[in-house]
Amino acid sequence: MGDRMDVHPELAGILAGMAPRPDDPLADIEATRAGFKALMAPLARPADGTVLIEETTVPGPDGNTVPVQILRPAGAAPGPLPAVLYIHGGGFSYGELDGPSPMARDACTETGSLVVNVHYRLVPEHPFPAGFEDCYAVLCWLAANAARLGADPARIAVAGASAGGCLSAALSLAARDRGGPALAFQTLLIPCLDDRLDTPSAHRITDPRLTNRAKLRAMWDAYLPPGAVSPYAAPARAGDLSGLPPAYVLTCGLDPLRDEGLDYARRLMEAGVPVEVKDVPGAWHLFEASAPDTGLARRTTRHWLAALRTALAAPLDTPLDTPLGASVTS
C-alpha cells in the first residue's frame, strides 16, 4: 500500500468491503465496461420530468458521427441558457451508461444549463487523437449551433471527471490554440493530466482496490500511440497555460492523480488564470460512485456544481443543500 493511508472516517467501512481490481482494466475491456456500468447504475435516476433529453449525432472529424445527448432543464425560463459540454471519464476506454451520465444530469438540473453529453470514441479501438477530436468537433458544433439550441455562446463551459477532466483541459488548450470556440470555464474533476506518472501521489497509492499507478500506466499505454506525446493528450505537457478559461480543479487525497491536479492548478495560477481548488482528504479516485450516500460525497458534488453554476451566472437562488437532482428554477 505504500505509505499509510489516512482514510476519511465516513469511507473507512466502505473501503474495507471493496475487492481488488485488475491492474490492467483493458485486459478484458468488455468486463471492465460492464463492471463500471454496474457501479454507476445506482446513481442513474429514473426519468422524473426535471430533464428533457434529446438524442442526436454530430459530424465527427474522420467522417464518423459522434452520438450526443442534449439535456435541458424542464421549465427553464425563456432566453438563452448557459451551456456545458460534459465529457465522461473511464480511462478513455469505458465509463458511459446507456443514458446520460449521472454527472451530466446533475450539471443540467443544478446549474440550469443546457448540457451536451458526448459519447466520444474509446480505446483500445480508437487511440488518441480520436476521442479528443470527437470532443472538439462537438464543442465546435455546440458553439456554431448555440442560437438554434437555445444556448448562450458567451457562456459555454467544459466539464468532466478523470479522463473527462483530461479531455476538458485539452479542449481548453485546443480552443485557445485553434482560435475558438471561446470557453467561459473549465471544470476539471479528479483529472488525469500527465502520462509520466512521476508525482509523489502517483507512487504512493498502490492499493489494488483503488485506482493506482499500475492501472493508470495501462490506461496511458492504451491511449497514446508510441511517440504520440501531445498537450492535447496529456495537458500537463503544455508549456504555456496562459490565456485559458477560469478553472475549477477537484482532487482527492488518496488519488494517485492528486499531485498532478494540484500542480496543474498551481501552474494555471502562475499563468494568471483564475482557479478554485478543492481537495478532499481521505477520499479516493471517484469515491462518490462507491459511497454516493455519504455526506462527504454529497458535499463534494455540491461544491463543484456550485462553482460551475456561479461561473455560468445561472440562477443562484437555490440553496447549496438542495438535494442532488432537484430541478433549478428561476
Q: What is the pLDDT along the chain (330 residues), one digit of tens a residue?
A: 334 579 999 999 999 999 999 999 999 999 999 988 888 777 777 677 899 999 999 999 999 999 999 999 998 877 899 999 999 999 999 987 677 788 999 999 999 999 999 999 999 999 999 999 999 999 999 999 999 999 999 999 999 999 999 999 999 999 999 999 999 999 999 999 999 999 999 999 999 999 999 999 999 999 998 888 899 999 999 999 999 999 999 999 999 999 999 999 999 999 999 999 999 999 999 999 999 999 999 999 999 999 999 999 743 343 333 333 333 222
The question of whether 290 is a catalytic residue gets the answer no
Task: Determine which one of 93, 101, 113, 162 is catalytic.
Answer: 162
- Which of 134, 207, 255, 259 does the annotation list as catalytic? 255
Question: Residue 264 in 3-state DSSP?
Answer: helix
Q: What is the pLDDT of residue 317?
A: 41
Cα 154 from Cα 211, distance rounded (Å): 36
Q: Note the pLDDT of residue 118.
A: 96
How confident is the model at residue 141, as a pLDDT? 98
pLDDT number for residue 4 = 56
Q: Residue with C-alpha cell 506525446?
A: 229
CA distances from 316 to 185, 199, 247, 328 (A): 17, 38, 19, 9
Specify the pLDDT at position 131: 98
Whole-number Å distance between alpha carbons of 264 and 57: 33
Write the single-letter amino acid at 3: D
What pLDDT is stored for residue 69 in this prediction?
A: 96
Pick the catalytic residue from 113, 201, 285, 327.
285
3-state helix, strand, coil in the chain (%, to 5): 35, 20, 45
CA 37 remoteness from chain centre: 16
* 303 labelled catalytic: no
- By CB atoms closer than 10 A (0-12, 13-18, 19+), residue 8 is buried
Q: Is 203 a catalytic residue?
A: no
Q: Is the pTM of this model over 0.85?
A: yes
Helix residue ranges per DSSP H, the chain: 12-16, 29-40, 102-111, 130-144, 146-149, 163-177, 200-204, 213-223, 258-270, 287-290, 295-311
Q: Where are the beta strands (DSSP E) in 42-107?
A: 51-59, 65-73, 81-87
